[in-house]
């Protein structure tokens, strides 16, 4: 259902957008699990974890939204496109795990995914009419921004490390969950109801 704001900007409810997003991410995660032949002796892959953390970041962002608009739908579609690339890049990375170019391509995919999520977050902050409350706590905004920046920053670090040692470039991605644990303010603020409507 759409509503008209005073500025004649269409605001759309989030139900269908979230359902579509959940469906696409679920398919991408399923492909990660079922569509990749894991060689013997293969250790836990960070690619599935990154997909899971990306979903958590996306869900956290949407907790603060009351409405969406067409521009946000397009940004979300670009984010989902980047998510659908992860299974393909993960298979490449597992198949050619010692190839620096493949690791760098994987880094580029993770960077693009994080960049799209950051673009959505920045757009939401600049369009307060979409939020449950127009003014958000600056500490929460900083925490959310840092959480979103984790993936692209680590992707750049991993890209650079791959020129030194491919294994270092690969293992750098385990910094993402460790960093995400440091930015729990977003979740705790929502749980306390500080950003919900009154």
Q: For residue range 96-105, what is the model confidence (pLDDT) as tens digits? A: 888 899 999 9
pLDDT exceeding 70 applies to what percent of the chain?
A: 71
Q: Is 196 inside any structural domain?
A: no
What proportion of the chain, given as a percentage, has pLDDT over 90?
18
pLDDT at 198: 37
**37 or 16: which leads in pLDDT:** 16
Q: Which residue has the tokens 């469906």?
A: 23
Chain length of the chain? 198
Helix (H, G, I), strand (E, B) or coil at 47: helix
pTM: 0.73
User: For the chain, what is the domain count?
Assistant: 1
With bands split at pLDDT 50, 70 and 90, how would you rate the model's confidence at 8?
Answer: very low
In a domain, residue 82? The reply is: yes
Task: Tell whether 6 is covered by a domain.
Answer: no
Residue 158 lies in a domain: yes
| Strand ranges in the chain using DSSP code E only, listed in sequence order | 2-4, 10-12
Residue owning tokens 């580029």: 108
pLDDT-derived band of residue 86, with 50, 70 and 90 as boundaries?
A: confident
CA distance 70 to 160: 37
Residues 118-167 pLDDT 10s? 999 999 999 988 888 777 888 888 888 888 898 899 999 999 999 999 98
Q: How far apart are CA 39 and CA 20, in angstroms?
A: 33
- In this prediction, residues 101-117 reach a mean pLDDT of 92
Q: Can you give the residue range of the structural domain that contains 94?
A: 11-34+44-189
In this structure, is residue 195 part of a structural domain? Answer: no
Task: With respect to residue 197, please indicate whether it lies within any of the assigned structural domains.
Answer: no
Is residue 5 domain-resident?
Answer: no
Q: What is the pLDDT of residue 81?
A: 86
Asked if the structure places residue 146 within a domain, the reply is yes
């Amino acid at each position: 259902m759409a509503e008209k704001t005073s500025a004649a900007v269409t605001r759309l409810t989030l139900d269908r957008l979230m359902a579509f997003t959940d469906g696409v991410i679920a398919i991408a995660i399923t492909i990660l699990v079922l569509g990749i032949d894991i060689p013997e002796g293969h250790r836990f892959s960070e690619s599935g974890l990154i997909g899971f953390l990306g979903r958590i970041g996306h869900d956290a962002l949407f907790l603060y939204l009351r409405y969406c608009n067409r521009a946000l739908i397009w940004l979300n579609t670009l984010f989902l496109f980047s998510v659908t690339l992860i299974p393909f890049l993960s298979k490449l990375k597992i198949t050619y795990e010692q190839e620096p170019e493949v690791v760098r391509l994987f880094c580029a995919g993770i960077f693009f995914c994080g960049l799209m999520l950051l673009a959505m977050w920045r757009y939401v902050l600049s369009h307060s009419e979409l939020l449950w409350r127009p003014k958000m706590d600056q500490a929460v905004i900083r925490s959310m921004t840092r959480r979103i920046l984790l993936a692209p920053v680590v992707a750049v670090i991993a890209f650079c490390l791959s020129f030194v040692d491919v294994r270092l470039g690969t293992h750098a991605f385990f910094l993402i969950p460790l960093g995400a644990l440091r930015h729990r303010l977003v979740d705790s603020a929502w749980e306390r109801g500080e950003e919900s409507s009154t």
